[in-house]
Structure 1
Amino acid sequence: MTLLMLDLDNTLVDRDAAFRDAVAAFLAEHRLPDTDLTWVTTVDAGGYAARRDVAAAMTGRYGDSVPARAIHSLLDHGAADRVVLTDSSREAVKRARAGGLTCVIVTNGRTGQQEAKIRRTGLDRLVQGWVISEGVGHKKPAPEIFHAAAHAVGASLTGAWVVGDSPHADVAGANALGLRSVWVSNGRPWPQVTYRPTHVAGDVATAIDRVIEAIVP
C-alpha cells in the first residue's frame, strides 16, 4: 500500500487561525490592546518560533500585568483547544484510505500539544498513525522523521508521498529522499527556485485528491 505522509499544522488543520483566536481571547481577558494581535502572531512566526522565545518576548512586553501562567497556558493550549478539521479535509482523508493509501501524520512540535490537536479533531480515528518530532528526536526535513513515520505504520518509503504547507520542512524533506510531494499553497506563490514539489494545490483536500489520482489506475 502507498504511504501518504500528511503534515498537521496549516495543512490538515488551520493552526494559525486557531492561534489567532486564542490570542484575541487572551488580549481581551487581560485588557490588552487588540492591536497586539499582529505583534504576538508575528513573534510566534506561525508556530516555528521556539516556545521559550515567544514566552520571553511576551513576558518582556507585558511584565507583571499578565501572570506567567497565563502566557504559558496560551502557548501550550491556545491553538490546540481551538483547531478544527473541516468537512472537506475529513472526507479527503477518508477517500485516501478508501483508495488504498496508508495515512500517517508527520508533524514538528511538542508531543502533548500535537496529540491534543490530533485527538480533538478526530484525526486519531482517521489516520493509521502519527509521528511527532519531539517524540522521535528529529524535526522535518530530517530524513529520520520520515523513516520513523514509515516504521510506525509498517510501510515502505518506496513510492511514498508527502503533503504539507512548508517548502522547507515538507517539500525539501521529500525531495531529499526522492519522494513525491504536494505543496499546500494556501494561496501563496511557490518561493523556491532550486527545487519544486511534484504538484501544487490550494488546500489539503485538493492535495490529497492529486495523490489519489496519481496512484489509482
Structure 2
Amino acid sequence: MPLLLLDLDNTLIDRDAAFRDAAAAFLSAHGLPDTDLPWVTTVDAGGYTPRHEVAAALTDHYGSAVPPIAVRTLLDTGAADRVVLAPATREALDRARMGGWTCVIVTNGRTVQQEAKIRHTGLDRLVQGWAVSEAVGHKKPEPEIFYAAAATGGLPLPGAWVIGDSPHADIAGADALGLPSVWVANGRAWAQDSYRPTHIAADITSAIHHVISTPNRSE
C-alpha cells in the first residue's frame, strides 16, 4: 500500500487566510485600526515566527489596549477555529484513499493547536494518522518526523511521496531522504537551486491528482 505524507498548513488547509480572519476580528474587537492587519500578519510570518515572539510583539505594540488573554486566544485558537477544508481537497483525499493510498499528515507546530485544526476540519476522518513536531520532538525537515509519520501509517518510509508548500521544510526534507515530492506553489515560483521537487502543482488537489495518477514516477 503506497504512503502519501501531506503537510497541513497552507497545503491541506489555508492557514494564512484563517489567521488573517482571526487577526481582523482581534483588531475589530479591541477598537484597533484595520490598517494594522498587514503588520500583524507580517509578524506572524505564516506561523513560522515562534509564538512567544508574536505574543511579545503584539503586547509591546498595543500595551494595555489589549489584555494578555486576548493575545493568547488569538495565537492559540484564532486560526484553528476558522480553518476550513475545501470540498475539492476532501474529494482528492477520498480518491487517494479509494486508490489504496495511506494518507498521513506531517506538520510542524504545537500538538494541541495542530490537532484542533485536523479535527475541526474533519481531516481526522480522512487520513490514517498524523505526526506533529512537538509530539515527535523533531520538526521538518529533520528526517525523524518523516519516519514517525510513516510509522503512524504502519508503512516503511522508502517510496513514500511528500506533498507540501514549504521548500525548506517539505521539499528539502523529502530530497534529503530520497523521496519523491510535490511542491504546492500557491502562486509562487520555485526559487531554490540546490534541490527541486519531483513535480510542481498549482494547488493541493492537483498535487494529489499527480501523485495518485503516477504512483511509480520518480522524476
TM-score interval, normalised by the smaller of the two chains? over 0.9
2:31 is the alignment partner of 1:38: no
Whole-Å Cα distance in 2 between the matches of residues 143 and 158 of structure 1? Answer: 12
Aligned to 1:49: 49
Whole-Å Cα distance in 1 between the matches of residues 90 and 52 of structure 2? Answer: 33
Shift of 1:191: 1.4
- Deviation by residue 1:165-196 (Cα, 9 ceiling, x = unmatched): 00000000000000000000001000101110
* 1:216–1:197 Cα change, 3 Å: closer
Q: Is the 8 A contact 1:94 1:126 kept in 2?
A: yes
Matched residue of 1:83: which SS? Answer: coil
Aligned to 1:13: 13
Matched residue of 2:183: which SS? Answer: strand
Q: TM-score, normalised by structure 1?
A: 0.99
Whole-Å Cα distance in 2 between the matches of residues 71 and 188 of structure 1? Answer: 31
Shift of 1:23: 0.3
Whole-Å Cα distance in 1 between the matches of residues 16 and 3 of structure 2? Answer: 27
2:32 is the alignment partner of 1:60: no
Whole-Å Cα distance in 2 between the matches of residues 100 and 158 of structure 1? Answer: 17
Whole-Å Cα distance in 2 between the matches of residues 207 and 156 of structure 1? Answer: 22
Whole-Å Cα distance in 2 between the matches of residues 29 and 203 of structure 1? Answer: 33
One-letter code of the match for 1:58? Answer: L
Q: Is the 8 A contact 1:99 1:216 kept in 2?
A: no
One-letter code of the match for 1:164? Answer: G
Whole-Å Cα distance in 2 between the matches of residues 212 and 34 of structure 1? Answer: 43
Whole-Å Cα distance in 2 between the matches of residues 149 and 16 of structure 1? Answer: 24
> Which of structure 1's runs of 4+ aligned residues deviate more than 3 A?
none
Shift of 1:157: 1.1
State how many pairs are aligned: 217
Whole-Å Cα distance in 1 between the matches of residues 140 and 159 of structure 2? Answer: 19
Structure 1 residues not aligned, in runs of 5+: none
Whole-Å Cα distance in 1 between the matches of residues 149 and 23 of structure 2? Answer: 32
2:154 is the alignment partner of 1:154: yes
- Deviation by residue 1:66-86 (Cα, 9 ceiling, x = unmatched): 000000100000000000000
Shift of 1:156: 0.9
Matched residue of 1:31: which SS? Answer: coil
Identity level (%): 70
Aligned to 1:27: 27
Aligned to 1:105: 105
One-letter code of the match for 1:175? Answer: D
Whole-Å Cα distance in 2 between the matches of residues 12 and 186 of structure 1? Answer: 12
Q: TM-score, normalised by structure 2?
A: 0.98
Whole-Å Cα distance in 2 between the matches of residues 110 and 123 of structure 1? Answer: 17
Whole-Å Cα distance in 1 between the matches of residues 142 and 216 of structure 2? Answer: 29
Whole-Å Cα distance in 2 between the matches of residues 159 and 74 of structure 1? Answer: 39
Matches within 5 A, 1:191-206: 191-206=191-206
Structure 2 residues not aligned, in runs of 5+: none
